[in-house]
């Protein structure tokens, strides 16, 4: 396989991710951010817009059916 793909020789075969670090660092995970008001308002606007579209589609469907 290495004869067909010579770039494989450039990849290190050592499993460095499983080796313990010499000086392990304590890294705090990213702080959990609160949902901003902008995102919430965009979601509300999207939901209202979807509801209006559903109502419009129902009205158009009824109007196209005509009198029964």
Each residue of 21-65: pLDDT tens digit? 566 666 666 666 666 677 788 889 999 999 999 999 999 999 998
Distance, CA of 59 to CA of 54 (rounded, Å)? 9
Distance, CA of 51 to CA of 34 (rounded, Å)? 27
pLDDT at 54: 96
* Domain-located, residue 52: yes
Number of domains in the chain: 1
DSSP state of 17: G
Domain carrying residue 48 = 36-68
Higher pLDDT, 5 or 55: 55
* Domain-located, residue 40: yes
């Amino acid at each position: 396989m290495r004869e067909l793909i010579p770039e494989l020789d450039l990849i290190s075969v050592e499993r460095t991710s499983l080796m313990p670090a010499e000086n392990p660092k304590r890294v705090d995970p990213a702080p959990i951010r609160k949902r901003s008001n902008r995102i919430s308002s965009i979601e509300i606007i999207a939901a209202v817009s979807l509801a209006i579209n559903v109502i419009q589609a129902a009205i158009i469907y009824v109007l196209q059916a005509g009198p029964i």
